[in-house]
Structure 1
Amino acid sequence: MTLDETDRALLRLLQIYAAQPTGRLGDKLGLSQPATWRRIRRLQDAGVIAGQRLTLDAEKLGFGVTVFLGVKLATKGRVSLEDFERAVSAIAEVQSVEHVLGLYDYRLRVVARDLADFERVLRRRIMTMRGVGNVEANIMLSEEKLAGPL
């Protein structure tokens, strides 16, 4: 799919103002509401827009600890990557699962209410999973930059 400048401008606006009505977005771009809606629909159908999400403040919801875990699988031949990904993705506290190249096989972002809650998740849910070998935890102290527009 070829994107023109209007498509790119629309995508920039949607990343910042995703909840805005299409008429208001169209006003910013000099388009009518139906034309804006058609462009959004075309971008969705082409897979350029993969979805919409609401960003919540984890700390205000009682999740005061964020930990990044490096996980090295003990034996890649005995547990498939897909099985590990499926199992770890089922843990509610695991917010993201990234297959990476380097010292560890996976990088997980885990949220917990406090350190005791994180220890419970680590000991009872993650360390007991089949195939988990070495794990390294890095506790997030602060987050300086949030994901922004592409």
Structure 2
Amino acid sequence: MTEWDEIDRALCRALAADASQSAASLGAQVGLSQPAAWRRIRRLRDAGILSGTRLALDAQALGFGVTVFLGIKLATKGRVSLEDFERAVTAIPEVQLVELVLGLYDYRLRVVARDLADFERVLRRRIMTLPGVGNVEANVLLSEERRPGPM
């Protein structure tokens, strides 16, 4: 993509708010006709700026009242232990996000549970038994004020 202008940014913001909007609706929001908005969206997709469509589920409404961020420090390092850990941790349904990070910990996980007792069960029976797990630090999410956007 050669240029990224304010209309492209506005389209991305509108799509981030509601990806199910029609090209006509998006065009009306940014001052373009439906065909012009559709061409811009297609160009953003072709450039790889837009990819996929996501549905945001409300974990609390689904009965998952606790979100915990875990910092995981592996006891052993090496290509095999990283791959073994990643394969095992992504198989745990309560783990929503796995990030390999630099710093004090090797991985950052976002884990959801029904309550603290359910989180303790997931931690003891599933996460602490993963291959290579050394130190674990937990931070319980109290509130989430802003969800990250694309820009």
Superposition TM-score, scaled by structure 1 size: 0.89
- 1:45-60 matched pairs, under 5 angstroms: 45-60=46-61
Matched to 1:126, the amino acid is I
Whole-angstrom CA distance in 1 between matches of 2:66 and 2:39: 42
Which string of whole-angstrom CA distances, capped at 9 and with x for unpartnered residues, describes residues 50-83 of structure 1?
2221222211110011111110011012734233
Matched to 1:44, the amino acid is R
Residue 70 (structure 2) aligns with: 69
Contact 2:44–2:50 (CA<8 Å) still a contact in 1? Answer: yes
Higher mean displacement: 39-48 or 77-86: 77-86
SS of the residue corresponding to residue 87 of structure 1 reads helix
The unaligned stretches of length 5 or more in structure 1 are none
Contact 2:23–2:38 (CA<8 Å) still a contact in 1? Answer: yes
Whole-angstrom CA distance in 2 between matches of 1:30 and 1:40: 14
Whole-angstrom CA distance in 1 between matches of 2:99 and 2:134: 16
Distance apart, 1:18 and its partner CA: 1.8
Distance apart, 1:30 and its partner CA: 2.5
Whole-angstrom CA distance in 2 between matches of 1:82 and 1:32: 48
Matched to 1:6, the amino acid is I
Residue 93 (structure 1) aligns with: 94
Whole-angstrom CA distance in 1 between matches of 2:45 and 2:25: 19
Contact 2:81–2:131 (CA<8 Å) still a contact in 1? Answer: no
Whole-angstrom CA distance in 2 between matches of 1:3 and 1:142: 34
Identity of aligned residues (%): 75
SS of the residue corresponding to residue 54 of structure 1 reads coil
The unaligned stretches of length 5 or more in structure 2 are none
Aligned length: 150
Higher mean displacement: 106-115 or 44-53: 44-53
Whole-angstrom CA distance in 2 between matches of 1:88 and 1:4: 40
Whole-angstrom CA distance in 2 between matches of 1:110 and 1:124: 14
Which string of whole-angstrom CA distances, capped at 9 and with x for unpartnered residues, describes residues 12-53 of structure 1?
221123221111111222222222122112211211012221
Residue 121 (structure 2) aligns with: 120
Residue 15 (structure 1) aligns with: 16
Whole-angstrom CA distance in 2 between matches of 1:35 and 1:26: 7
